[in-house]
Amino acid sequence: MANLKEVRIRIASVQSTQKITSAMKMVSASKLRRAQTAILKLRPYAQKLNQILSNLCSDHNDNVFAQKRAPERVVLVVITSNKGLCGGFNVNVTKETSNLLKNKYAQQVEKGNVSLICIGKKGYEVFKKTKIPILQYYDTLLDAPNFEKVSEIAEFLMNSFKTKTLDKVEIVYNEFKNAANQLLITENYLPVVTHHHKTSAPKNNIDYIFEPNKAVIFEELIPKILKLQLYKTVLDSLASEHGARMTAMHKATDNAHELIRTLSLAYNKARQAAITNEISEIVSGAEALKA
């Protein structure tokens, strides 16, 4: 009977876990709806502005944010989550960042010219143990994404690029596709990547009219577009996080259900075997008394 008691305790434990994972799944689903709505509304606007930015920088070479320099000083913006239980969401980002540090920017790392900006506690916990300096760290930003707060990060990066304190900025994050799929992205942020039109294809015949003038447009519009691009990556990552957690909790709930079914079957078999054994002992004892 001790074995039966252990199985009963384990079934109760798994049932308790199943309730927790089911509740977490529903919470993540609710948060996902809000985050998904936010990113899907922002994405077309951000993509169009990004196209305008690329075309402007392609046609006008006097934009400081499009100046290409040898990437001697590099900053990687790593966007993860504050919490776990979301599958490989955080691990994929930290692994990709580690690969960039070991391979693409190995020489810069040796010279101490690579720094990180960590948005999210999980990425910070991984890289604070390394020798890579962390310029900035944000965790509360993900609780309620705020354009003004993200703008501060973007302004810091743009000012550093303008003053040649850094030469290149890349962002590593998960782009939201749907609740079950997230696409790991390493996106170039600075310098701005321009569209290169193929000679065989006609150019898009974009003829911009600058009002009041080109200098003011570059000074006002381009920084706002860059701020919006960074804000979009934060919203993308947040929606991806909730989708990944909802999917992970859904799988955990299903696994708990299957484990409960298996344990219940084992419990019933053990109980039936114990009852059969007791009946056999009673019958054997009765036969012995008759003899």
Q: Identify the CA nearest to 28 among candidates 243, 238, 235, 199.
A: 243
What's the one-letter identity of residue 248? A
Q: Identify the CA nearest to 57 among candidates 252, 173, 212, 193.
A: 193
| β-bridge mates for residue 79, sequence order | 119
Task: Provide the token pair at 222.
Answer: 């381009």
What's the one-letter identity of residue 188? N
86 is catalytic: yes
| β-bridge mates for residue 136, sequence order | 117
Per annotation, catalytic residue among 7, 14, 24, 86 = 86
CB atoms within 10 A of CB 281: 10
Strands 182-190 and 168-176, how do they pair? antiparallel
What's the one-letter identity of residue 262? T
Compute the distance between CA of residue 240 and CA of residue 43 in angstroms, rounded to an integer.
Answer: 14
Q: Identify the CA nearest to 81 among candidates 248, 260, 244, 290.
A: 244
Instruction: Return phi, psi of residue 193, to 5°.
Output: -85, 125
Compute the distance between CA of residue 46 and CA of residue 44 in angstroms, rounded to an integer.
Answer: 5
Contact by Cβ (8 Å): 96, 172: yes
**Catalytic positions, written as ranges:** 86
